[in-house]
């Protein structure tokens, strides 16, 4: 009988493809050779937008992912490079004037910050409602919104190999310090998790935790493998590194160390899942991107894929169908299609729910059952993850059929509820109950949860030391 030879880690193809990471930020826009043909006006406009929204790309994104003969429409260019339409005309004009007249960095930064604050940097009650409390102290760098799953934001993982222009985490990258979730307190997390036996899954997120050196990531992950935390059955890493810098898993100095860490998780009897953010099939087209997925999977880790549906980047059924087919071919698992959140440059990116549903269904029909593991379009909103499951006619009225995939109260999960159909609505808060009721069924309880949380926090702040 033939058993396949185990995959050799340091394969020759991999080694010969090593690549030095080079990053470009706002001050380097002029150094990107592919942008030399941009008019001065366009360059200034780009710098103006980049002073408000996070901008960072690297040589792989610039050289291998963007098709420069197709800009500005190229989807990866739209995904990573600031576009004038991402700011309101008024904000754009204000920033443009500052950059053009060579205003000081402080003046540019201050103007940028004031525009950021007006862009809802922490949507869905992230700051107030999700930070857990232990020994009467909030635990920074941790969020516990859904019973089974805890999110951890390691302090050293609050950046990415490149930034997505649509990112809802952008407030963390642009120097708005008091908005930053971060923590160096791994032992606090472990103490919390020891007392919370209902938690099954820990999800490291950021930024991008895969930006950290393997040795640093190890310091966060290894404590979770303690037998005293046997209720933690899975560890997830939310990352866009397989798309933006696949060398992280193949040829970077500590790539093999990272894969060994993944194997250790399996060795400790837990499951490791890379929650890989792929926005466009192009990101899975290069040989290095394919190799990254193969190497991750060779450790026993799963690659589950998710991304938001974003206008200008991936708002076509064919893009998604191709993306899911490529994922299935590589043994990766399509997981979520998100609706773009109510933050940042959302007017530029948002897709109405009705259109999102059409795109989802058109793509879903084009893949086999192995690709239909994907769920969407899904909104990560204050009460939970709300799936737009379909459009139906109930009592002669056209409605959206909605359903919680995750909820602050687990009782809400799985119950269908109906909203009046609205061709233009782009988010949950624009929908009205189909029944004519004032509000959706979960609202009164959600208010109670919010009041209780805020009272708890105020109580702490005013209590004598």
Ligand X SMILES: *Cc1c(COP(=O)(O)O)cnc(C)c1O
**Residue ranges that bind ligand SF4, judged by CB under 6 A:** 160, 163-164, 167, 169, 206-208, 240, 277
**Dihedral, CA of residue 220, residue 236, residue 351 and residue 123, to nearest 10:** -40
Residue 167 binds which one of ligand X, ligand SF4, none, with CB within 5 to 8 A depending on kind? ligand SF4
- Does position 380 interact with ligand X (CB under 6 A)? The reply is yes
Give the separation between CA 37 and CA 19, rounded to whole angstroms: 26
C-beta of 111 vs 307, nearer to ligand SF4:
307
- Does position 145 interact with ligand X (CB under 6 A)? The reply is yes
Stretch that binds ligand X, among 2-10, 142-150, 247-255, 452-460 (CB under 6 A): 142-150
- Least Å distance, CB 378 to ligand X, is 8
Site string for ligand X, 95-134 (x = CB under 6 A): ----------------------------------------
- Does position 149 interact with ligand X (CB under 6 A)? The reply is yes
DSSP state of 44: H
Stretch that binds ligand X, among 6-14, 141-149, 171-179, 281-289 (CB under 6 A): 141-149
- Does position 78 interact with ligand X (CB under 6 A)? The reply is no
Within 13 Å, how many C-alpha atoms sit on residue 240's CB side? 24
C-beta of 155 vs 160, nearer to ligand SF4:
160
CA dihedral sign of residues 69, 70, 76, 80: positive
Residue 277 binds which one of ligand X, ligand SF4, none, with CB within 5 to 8 A depending on kind? ligand SF4
- Does position 406 interact with ligand X (CB under 6 A)? The reply is yes
C-beta of 143 vs 165, nearer to ligand X:
143
- Least Å distance, CB 199 to ligand X, is 11
Least Cα distance to 380 among 149, 159, 154 occurs for 149
C-beta of 88 vs 373, nearer to ligand X:
373
Site string for ligand X, 171-210 (x = CB under 6 A): --------------------------------x-------
Give the separation between CA 322 and CA 385, rounded to whole angstroms: 25
Give the separation between CA 123 and CA 380, rounded to whole angstroms: 9
Residue 164 binds which one of ligand X, ligand SF4, none, with CB within 5 to 8 A depending on kind? ligand SF4
Stretch that binds ligand X, among 19-27, 139-147, 287-295, 411-419 (CB under 6 A): 139-147
- Does position 151 interact with ligand X (CB under 6 A)? The reply is yes
With vertex at residue 292, the alpha carbon angle to CA 290 and CA 297, rounded to the nearest 5 degrees, is 100
CB–CB of 317/353 below 8 Å? Answer: no
Residue 240 binds which one of ligand SF4, ligand X, none, with CB within 5 to 8 A depending on kind? ligand SF4
CB–CB of 241/206 below 8 Å? Answer: no
Count the Cβ atoms, other than its own, within 10 Å of residue 169: 23
- Least Å distance, CB 230 to ligand SF4, is 30
Residue 322 binds which one of ligand X, ligand SF4, none, with CB within 5 to 8 A depending on kind? none
Footprint of ligand X on 385-404 (CB under 6 A): 385
Give the separation between CA 10 and CA 370, rounded to whole angstroms: 31
CB–CB of 377/356 below 8 Å? Answer: yes
The enclosing H or E element of 274 equals strand 271-277
With vertex at residue 160, the alpha carbon angle to CA 155 and CA 163, rounded to the nearest 5 degrees, is 130
C-alpha of 198 from chain center? 25
C-beta of 353 vs 405, nearer to ligand X:
405
Give the separation between CA 165 and CA 54, rounded to whole angstroms: 7
- Least Å distance, CB 144 to ligand SF4, is 20
C-alpha of 112 from chain center? 23
Choose, by CB under 6 A, the member of 60, 81, 146, 166 that binds ligand X. 146
C-beta of 240 vs 375, nearer to ligand SF4:
240
Give the separation between CA 117 and CA 391, rounded to whole angstroms: 36
Question: How many helices (H) and strands (E) would you count in the chain?
Answer: 16, 15
Least Cα distance to 176 among 220, 211, 129, 127 occurs for 127
Give the separation between CA 448 and CA 224, rounded to whole angstroms: 33
- Does position 341 interact with ligand X (CB under 6 A)? The reply is no
Helical residues (DSSP H) of 330-352, grouped into ranges: 346-349
Q: What is the largest CA-CA distance in the chain?
A: 74
Residue 80 binds which one of ligand SF4, ligand X, none, with CB within 5 to 8 A depending on kind? none
Residue 146 binds which one of ligand SF4, ligand X, none, with CB within 5 to 8 A depending on kind? ligand X
- Least Å distance, CB 451 to ligand SF4, is 31
- Least Å distance, CB 345 to ligand SF4, is 13
Residue 143 binds which one of ligand SF4, ligand X, none, with CB within 5 to 8 A depending on kind? ligand X
Q: Under 8 Å CB-to-CB from 57, ≥6 apart: which residues?
A: 23, 24, 32, 80, 81, 162, 163
Residues at the site binding ligand X, with contacts judged by CB under 6 A: 143, 145-146, 149, 151, 203, 380, 385, 405-406
């Amino acid at each position: 009988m033939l058993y396949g030879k185990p995959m050799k880690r340091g394969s020759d193809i991999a080694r010969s493809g090593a690549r030095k990471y080079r990053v470009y930020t706002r001050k380097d826009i002029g150094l990107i050779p592919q942008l030399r043909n941009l008019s001065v006006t366009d360059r200034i406009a780009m710098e103006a937008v980049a002073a408000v929204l996070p901008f960072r790309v690297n040589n792989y994104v610039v050289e291998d992912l963007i098709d420069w003969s197709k800009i500005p429409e190229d989807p990866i260019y739209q995904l990573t490079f600031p576009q004038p339409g991402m700011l309101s005309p008024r904000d754009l004009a204000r920033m443009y004037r500052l950059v053009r007249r060579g205003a000081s960095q402080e003046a540019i930064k201050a103007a940028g910050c004031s525009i950021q604050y007006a862009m809802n940097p922490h949507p869905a009650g992230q700051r107030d409602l999700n930070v857990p409390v232990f020994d009467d102290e909030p635990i920074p760098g941790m969020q516990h919104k859904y019973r089974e799953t805890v999110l951890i934001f390691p302090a050293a993982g609050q950046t990415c190999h490149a930034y997505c222009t649509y990112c809802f985490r952008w407030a963390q990258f642009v120097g708005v310090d008091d908005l930053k979730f971060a923590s160096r307190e791994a032992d606090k997390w472990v103490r919390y998790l020891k007392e919370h036996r209902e938690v099954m899954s820990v999800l490291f997120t950021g930024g991008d935790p895969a930006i950290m050196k393997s040795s640093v990531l190890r310091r966060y992950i290894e404590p979770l493998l303690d037998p005293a935390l046997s209720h933690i059955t899975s560890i997830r890493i939310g990352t866009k590194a397989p798309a933006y810098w696949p060398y992280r898993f193949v040829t970077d100095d500590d790539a093999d160390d990272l894969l060994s860490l993944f194997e250790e998780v399996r060795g400790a009897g837990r499951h490791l899942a890379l929650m890989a953010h792929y926005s466009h099939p192009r990101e899975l087209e290069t040989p290095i991107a394919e190799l990254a997925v193969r190497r991750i999977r060779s450790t026993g880790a799963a690659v589950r894929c998710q991304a938001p549906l974003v206008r200008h980047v991936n708002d076509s059924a064919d893009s998604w169908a191709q993306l899911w087919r490529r994922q299935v071919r590589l043994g990766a698992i399509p997981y979520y299609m998100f609706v773009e959140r109510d933050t940042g440059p959302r007017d530029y990116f948002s897709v109405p729910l009705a259109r999102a549903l059409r795109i989802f269904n058109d793509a879903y029909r084009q893949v086999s059952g192995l690709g239909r593991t994907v769920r969407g379009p899904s909104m990560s909103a204050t009460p939970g993850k709300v799936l737009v499951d379909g459009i139906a006619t109930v009592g002669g009225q056209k409605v959206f059929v909605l359903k919680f995939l995750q909820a602050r109260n687990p009782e809400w999960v799985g119950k269908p509820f109906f909203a009046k159909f609205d061709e233009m609505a782009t988010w949950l808060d624009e929908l009205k109950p189909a029944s004519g009721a004032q509000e959706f069924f979960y609202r009164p309880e959600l208010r109670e949860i919010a009041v209780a949380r805020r009272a708890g926090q105020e109580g702490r702040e005013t209590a004598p030391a």
